[in-house]
């Protein structure tokens, strides 16, 4: 099997970021999988255990959830299995194709959309917004815009559930993906006026293990 070339990947992302094209490269990752969702290099093919734990403890019915940058759909499926009415979107048409083929009979509304210009009627419409690893592939002002857009999807009392790689303040500034630091996470509180309900950090089981944040904020 051909090895994934991380250095070429990082250079490709950097070139797009330098040209102020934050997301136009995303579809290529899914296209390269040639219809096989198991070949998408960043897909864990399972939900974050902290999300699953949260869903177990917060049983729901008839609530609306939306998944940002849903990739190949595992988290959307977990939210749907937990009882949410789920909209899951991605800017990549190839990702959404993979989701629809993977889950042909699910009730999840998988669709192509851009977080930065989502349909007007999504605003303040969701009880739960799930973001996993989208902000970290963005650079500069697009990270801030993504956070603002995520918060803007919440209805009153709605919860933003955020899962991402993490870094210490001032470190890994040029990494691709660029993990979030605690200051960026705290902007959900200080800028978007959400209340922190859960904040935790942990190391995943990759080799070497990668540091992550998992947080829940409420509007
Ligand atoms: C690192 S992947 C994570 C995918 C998935 N959430 C997961 O955890 O496996 C980031 C995803 O965000 C999507 N994405 C990036 N910018 C986006 C935007 N502006 N609107 C919607 N999706 C976006 C990408 O296409 C990609 O699927």
How far, in Å, is the centroid of ligand 1 from the Cα of 198?
A: 23
Best of 69, 146, 178 to mutate for ligand 1, by most ligand atoms within 8 A of CB? Answer: 69
Over residues 10-49, the pLDDT tens digits come to: 999 999 999 999 999 999 999 999 999 999 999 999 999 9
Helix H or strand E encompassing 27? helix 26-31
pLDDT at 59 over 90: no
Q: What is the pLDDT of residue 130?
A: 98
| Beta carbons within 8 Å of 155's beta carbon, 6+ residues apart | 124, 125, 126, 127, 219
The whole-chain average pLDDT of the chain stands at 97
Averaged pLDDT for residues 204-215: 95
Q: What is the pLDDT of residue 61?
A: 85
Q: Give me the residue spans of the domains in the chain.
A: 6-218
Q: Are 118 and 53 in contact, with CB atoms under 8 Å apart?
A: no
How far, in Å, is the centroid of ligand 1 from the Cα of 71?
A: 6
Q: Dihedral through CA 62, CA 145, CA 200, CA 193, nearest 10?
A: -70
Q: Are 135 and 69 in contact, with CB atoms under 8 Å apart?
A: no
Pair of tokens at residue 115: 């977080």
pLDDT at 1 over 70: no
How far, in Å, is the centroid of ligand 1 from the Cα of 134?
A: 5
pLDDT at 3 over 80: no
Q: What is the pLDDT of residue 4?
A: 84
Residue 163 CA: which ligand 1 atom is closest?
A: 8
Percent of the chain, pLDDT > 90? Answer: 95
| Beta carbons within 8 Å of 148's beta carbon, 6+ residues apart | 191, 192
For residue 60, what pLDDT band results from cuts at 50, 70 and 90?
confident
Q: Are 161 and 54 in contact, with CB atoms under 8 Å apart?
A: yes
Query: CA–CA separation, 192 vs 211, rounded Å?
Result: 25
Nearest CA to ligand 1 atom 5: 71
Q: Do the bridges between strand 126-132 and strand 64-68 make them parallel or antiparallel, or are there none, so unpaired?
A: parallel
Query: CA–CA separation, 155 vs 66, rounded Å?
Result: 12
For residue 132, what pLDDT band results from cuts at 50, 70 and 90?
very high
CATH dotted code for 6-218: 3.40.50.150
Query: CA–CA separation, 37 vs 94, rounded Å?
Result: 10
Over residues 152-195, the pLDDT tens digits come to: 999 999 999 999 999 999 999 999 999 999 999 999 999 999 99
Q: Are 166 and 160 in contact, with CB atoms under 8 Å apart?
A: no
Helix H or strand E encompassing 15? helix 6-18
pTM score above 0.85: yes
């Amino acid at each position: 099997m051909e090895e994934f070339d991380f250095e070429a990947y990082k250079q490709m992302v950097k070139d797009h970021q330098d040209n102020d094209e934050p997301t136009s490269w995303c579809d290529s990752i899914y296209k390269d999988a040639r219809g096989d969702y198991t070949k998408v290099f960043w897909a864990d093919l399972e939900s974050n255990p902290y999300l699953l734990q949260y869903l177990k403890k917060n049983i729901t019915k008839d609530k609306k959830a939306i998944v940002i940058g849903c990739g190949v759909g595992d988290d959307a499926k977990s939210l749907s299995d937990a009882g949410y009415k789920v909209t899951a979107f991605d800017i990549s048409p190839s990702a959404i194709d993979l989701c629809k083929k993977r889950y042909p009979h699910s009730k999840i509304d998988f669709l192509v959309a851009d977080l930065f210009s989502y349909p007007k009627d999504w605003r303040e419409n969701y009880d739960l917004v799930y973001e996993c690893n989208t902000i970290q592939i963005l650079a500069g002002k697009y990270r801030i815009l993504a956070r603002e857009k995520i918060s803007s999807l919440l209805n009153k009392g709605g919860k933003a559930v955020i899962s991402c790689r993490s870094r210490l303040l001032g470190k890994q500034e040029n990494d691709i993906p660029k993990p979030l630091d605690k200051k960026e996470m705290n902007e959900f509180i200080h800028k978007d006026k959400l209340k922190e309900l859960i904040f935790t950090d942990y190391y995943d089981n990759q080799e070497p293990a990668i540091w992550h944040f998992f947080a829940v904020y409420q509007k």
